Structure formats: C-alpha cells, structure tokens
Amino acid sequence: MSFRMRAAVGERGVDASLDVGDGETLALLGPNGAGKSTLFDLAAGLVRADSGRAELDGRVLFDAASGEWLPPHARGVALLAQEPLLFPHLSVLDNVAFGPRASGVSRTDARTAAAHWLGEVDAVALAERRPAQLSGGQAQRVAVARALAAEPSLLLLDEPFAALDVAAAPALRRLLGRVLAGRTAIVITHEVLDAHLLADHVVVLEGGRVAEEGPTAALLERPRSRFAAGLAGLNLVRGPATAESALFVAGLGEVVGVVPAGDEAPSSGDDAVAVFRPADIAVFRPDDVPHGSPRNAWRAVVRELEPRGPQVRVHAASPGTALVADLTPAAAAELDLAPGTDVVLVVKAAAVALYAA
C-alpha cells in the first residue's frame, strides 16, 4: 500500500511530491499556509491538481496528463480532520458503521465491524451515544475508529490533536501510535513529539514546496530548513562554506563549527548550515566579551525576552538572522537585558554542528 504523489495547484501555490512506503507513517510538517492541507485534499480527491499524478497501491488516483481521476469515494483514502465531524444524526456506533455500510456491507455486519473498531479505540461504552454527548477527546477517538472502519489504504490525519485540550491529547497520541503501526498514513502536525512518536519519515513543506525530507530522527537532529530546526528547538544559520568547518552568514559573520562524524563536510563555496542549541549560546554585553578558545562571537540586538519554564529565552537578531538563546533568569537580570539591548552572542565551535546543506 505505498503512496506516491506529485501534484501542483497553481492557485494555491503548491507544487510538491510525497512518497510513503508500505506500512509507513509520514509526518508532514510546515508553517501555516505551507500547503499541507491542500496536499491532503489532493490525495483525498477533494481538490483537483493542475498537474501531477498520484498512485496508491499501484492504482492511479489521478493523472493530470491523461485526465484520469478517481472520485473520493473510490480512492480508499480516509481523511481525519482537526475536528471529528461525526455525523450528528447518527449514533456513535452508526457513525463508525458508516464506512462499511457505504461499501455495501449489511447493517448487522457493519455494526459488528463498528463495534470491533470502537474496541480498538477503547470507546465501546460510547456506542449508543449521540455525537453531541461526547467530549472532544471521545469524539476524536470515535472519528479515528470511523476512519479505520472504512479500511482505507491510506489514512490522512490533519492535526488530529489540534482541537483537543491538553489533557485529552496524550491519550489520543498513544492510541494513534498503536493503530498507525503498520499502516500507510500521513499525519500533519506542529508537534515534534508527534513526528518522533508516530512517523518514520518527515517531510517539511514551506511555501508549497518540499523544503526537506528524511528519516524523522536524522532530520530533526540535523535539520536543514529553519522550520525543522525551529521544531527541533535548534538555531540554524545558512551560508556558503568558507572552509571545511566554517561558513559565512550575511549579517552575522563567520560561523565556526565542527562537522559531526558521519555528516558530509561542505566544500568551500557550497551552501552549508550550522546548527546549535539555544542553551549553548552565552550572552555578553559588548564591553566584557571574554577571549580564549576557538569560539564564535556575533553582535546582535535583543528583540524580545520570553519566560520559558525555569529559563528565559532571548530572541536576538542581527541584520538578516534571528537566533534564540536560553539563559537563567538570574543571568538575564544581571545582564539587564531588554528589547533593544546590544549584546554579543558567544558559542563554542565545538557546540556548533556544521554540515552541507
């Protein structure tokens, strides 16, 4: 049940390809408006592509060149949206039985199947209720069961936790982790945790294009797009390599780092990225910057201070680059930081991972 799609929709500025192996789960990440939901609509058949082609399990879902186009109900692609969208006029059991009924299964058999899938999501007790009588978390669980009961070849989950309160999300996350195992699925998420827990591969979409893709752990550890770096909680800067372990960033200057073992060193002049943790940045006032071991020191201006658990996150910018640094509240107070303060950001070269973009 592998899924492969390349599609472009001009009016939405989307042109991207997705590739999901049999039984794999792909996490689709990206800022709002990057075109993630449009890709889902394309795969489900709710939007037509200007160009491109999609195949699921060897079947052609659409092919703009030849004009082939399967209607949504014939695709075997189930879509689970942010909101559960349970049919309000049907009981929970009949909601879950909807897919089997639609495929021509008898009422009794459909209900038996529905009861089975409700069991899978621990919702058997809710069977006789109306959707209006469910909490948000319960409704989303039932929606998962309903999607699974349709026995889709491809399951699309569009931010399944977005509409849930904080208390209900972990249970559903565990549940999805269980039911997605061995299933071909794509999940849109803003949470790096979801990507780690649910997905084998990650695709980062920016401005309708694929910014980067790769195995989840590797991509989040060595991101190459700002978005993925932000998700992973890392600073990322990009520029041409000036040496094997240095690159030049406009507005910041030279960035010296270390090429991690197993990563490709950039050739001089090629695009490279440098990645480092906010906690590895030390913040100084311009007049008392220490000198010593190989380190980076960049001038920047504080833009914003943001309390973040036991720490203070300093958003600092130099022309063209924005970085974040984590300090203790005491250090931040001692430095007397405020938006507009000139600072020097210092990072040891050993704390900067540098690799080819």
Partner 1 sequence: MPASAPRDPAPAASRPRAATRAYSGLPRWIYIPAAAGALFVLIPFLGILARVDWLHFVPLITSASSLTALGLSLETALASTAACLVLGVPMALVLARGPVRGRRWLRSLVLLPLVLPPVVGGLALLYTFGRLGLVGRWLDVLGVHLAFTTTAVVMAQAFVSLPFLVVSLEGALRTAGGRYEAVAATLGAAPTHVFRRVTLPLVLPGLASGLVLAFARSLGEFGATLTFAGSLEGVTRTLPLEVYLQREVDPDAAVALALVLVVVAAAVVGVAYGRRVDRAAGA
Which range, of 96-104, 112-120, 180-188, 198-206, touches partner 1 by CB under 8 A? 96-104
Q: Tell whether residue 137 is a contact of partner 1 (CB under 8 A).
A: no
Q: Tell whether residue 99 is a contact of partner 1 (CB under 8 A).
A: yes
| Closer Cβ to partner 1, 148 or 274, answer by number | 148
How many angstroms separate the CA atoms of 25 and 16, rounded? 18
Which one among 10, 22, 60, 87 touches partner 1, defined by CB under 8 A?
87
Q: Tell whether residue 347 is a contact of partner 1 (CB under 8 A).
A: no
**79 torsion bin: left (phi>0), alpha (psi -120 to 50), beta (else):** beta
How many angstroms separate the CA atoms of 34 and 212, rounded? 13
Reduced to 3 DSSP states, what percent helix, strand and coil does the chain have, rounded to the nearest 5? 30, 35, 35
What b/e readout covers 56-93, taking b as 16+ CB neighbours within 10 angstroms?
A: beeeebbbbeeeeebeeeebbbbbbbbebebeeeebbb
Q: Tell whether residue 81 is a contact of partner 1 (CB under 8 A).
A: yes
Which residues lie closer than 8 Å to 176 by C-beta, 6 or more apart? 144, 157, 160, 187, 198
CB of 66 to partner 1, least distance (A): 22
Which one among 10, 46, 181, 182 touches partner 1, defined by CB under 8 A?
46
Contact 132, 88 (CB under 8 A): yes
Contact 210, 238 (CB under 8 A): no
| Closer Cβ to partner 1, 41 or 326, answer by number | 41
Q: Tell whether residue 103 is a contact of partner 1 (CB under 8 A).
A: yes
Which one among 106, 133, 135, 328 touches partner 1, defined by CB under 8 A?
133
Contact 136, 165 (CB under 8 A): yes
Residue that is written with structure tokens 């406009």 in the block: 250
Which one among 44, 164, 302, 314 touches partner 1, defined by CB under 8 A?
44
CB of 151 to partner 1, least distance (A): 8
Q: Tell whether residue 76 is a contact of partner 1 (CB under 8 A).
A: yes
CB of 103 to partner 1, least distance (A): 5
Which one among 36, 101, 141, 226 touches partner 1, defined by CB under 8 A?
101
How many angstroms separate the CA atoms of 198 and 190, rounded? 13
Q: Tell whether residue 70 is a contact of partner 1 (CB under 8 A).
A: no
Q: Tell whether residue 294 is a contact of partner 1 (CB under 8 A).
A: no
Give contact residues for partner 1 (rule: CB under 8 A): 44-46, 71-79, 81, 85, 87-90, 98-99, 101-103, 130-133, 146-147, 150, 152, 156
